Amino acid sequence: MTERTELVEHGQLFIGGEFTDPLGTGVIEVISPHTEQVIGRVPHASEGDVDRAVAAARRAFDEGPWPRMGLDERIAVITRIKDAFAVRHEEFARLISAQNGTPYSSSVMVQALAAMMVWDSAITVARDFPYEERRDGVLGPLLVRREPVGVVAAVVPWNVPQFTAAAKLAPALLAGCTAVLKVSPETPLDAYVLAEIAQEAGLPPGVLSILPADREVSEYLVGHRDVDKVSFTGSVAAGRRVMEVASRNLTRVTLELGGKSAAIVLPDADLEAAVAGIVPFAWMINGQACVAQTRILVPNSRYDEMAEAFAAAAGALRVGDPLDPTTELGPLVARRQQQRSLDYIKLGQEEGAKILTGGNRPAAQERGWYVEPTLFGSVDNSMRIAREEIFGPVICLIPYEDEAEAVRIADDSPYGLSGSVWTADTERGIDVARRVRTGTYSVNTFSLDMLGPFGGYKNSGLGREFGPEGYGEFFEHKMIHLPAGYREA
């Protein structure tokens, strides 16, 4: 797959289940991070388009068939969406790689098939969810119901656009909610494929709208009085703003925000296995992943050995065209992200950290928003490069003296999204996992299971996605008091 992506143009928006002309004249130009050329054009949704989408969702929820269908009927529709991902996963992967620079070699799984797995896992959760339960109350029998929350505003980022869209839409739609999906202006093209799939799957009118737009329009959507629930993935700063705007209407929010996750390599770890397991997830999506293991904690007793091994592996990553199947690290999504990484590299040097590999723009790339895979050594956890989310291919190697200090360093962060521990003793690893305050943790691996709860401690967010916990975010609880002595017929 080395052929160039042809110009992709769309002139309409997907509102209420139909492709329709936008109210405004704004246009989003999608720029290739590899060539710096325009590869797509789509309409920029306006506040008026948001009003149309929310009104359609409101009608569909209040009056339409979707929330009143049986669960099996909704599952049948969502299954068709999931199945379409299996058919069109290469198309999704190619479009997303072209837009955000994810190497196609990993995009097929990370950007496309993983999204399909989210849709599939949500179906599994929905089948077994306790929608109603009977309880013996203090004053008599109770019926506790979980009912769909209503109209959902789902706002997703550019780094994993279909994965995050699935994390919000799959549970929301299965719950019986209706939704307006706001997609990033950096990656709107794959959203049109999703719109086609949703239309072909048979979603009733009004149930889903998909709008490409910038932050101003996002704020308008989040603050809309007819939105009942906001599910947002993005930066901490943007998450704070979402919470502020949503609070004006007391709108419920779920926030999946940033991370500065630590991989702890214990002294007894198999170094070869640790390097092979950590490096792909430190530099995943070119370092543009909230769950990336961006701090690697290694024991002083093996520091030189481990520093050499991690630097060699990072330096060997093949940098280049994201559509080249041999590429392992592509460009960053935008010039601003490239400059941000380069600024942090300069800062790290000023703070006294040592560059073990990388640190520049790749000499072989005359254009494109590339930064070499960069590993800093001799990093103190108080340095800004160790505390702030860079969102680029810049990783910190931090030494520790003993296990207790490793846990303290891992926890000494404003974030708490993910992490991992690497050891020859699995029970010891589980003990470390219990002690680190973070939402997702792995022992001798790194994974994100869609049947378990995903979310963060501290500044990494509020609420959970995936599993019954994530599904439950799209429900209200209703308590019905039954007459004393009532028994179901």
Task: Give the C-alpha separation, 86 to 96, whole Å.
Answer: 16
Kindly tell me the sign of the dihedral angle through the C-alpha atoms of 127, 160, 244, 177: negative
Q: Are 431 and 232 in contact (CB under 8 A)?
A: no
Q: Match 């680190």 to its residue by tokens.
A: 436
Residues taking part in catalysis: 256
CB-based contact 15:185 (threshold 8 Å): no
CA distance 281 to 350: 27
- Dihedral (C-alpha) 316, 319, 322, 323: value to the nearest 10 degrees? -80
- CA dist 205 and 264 (Å) reads 50
The token duo for 231 is: 């599910």
- Whether 12 and 43 have beta carbons less than 8 Å apart is answered as yes
First vs last Cα of the chain: how many Å apart? 63
**269 Cβ neighbours under 8 A, 6+ residues apart:** 422, 423, 424
Residue 335 contacts residue 392 (beta carbons within 8 Å): no
How far apart, in Å, are the Cα atoms of 486 and each of 20, 133, 135, 136, 142?
A: 52, 15, 12, 11, 10
Q: Coil, helix or strand for 129?
A: coil
**Bridge partners for 233 per DSSP:** 256
Read off the tokens for 193. Answer: 């494929």
Choose among 467, 458, 457, 423: nearest CA to 442: 423
- Tokens standing for 43? 């309409």
Closest CA to 17 of 203, 171, 156: 203
CA-closest candidate to residue 394, choices 324, 289, 298, 323:
289
CA 76 – CA 128 distance, rounded (Å)? 15
On whether the CB atoms of residues 420 and 275 are closer than 8 A, the answer is no
Q: Strand, helix or coil at 400?
A: strand
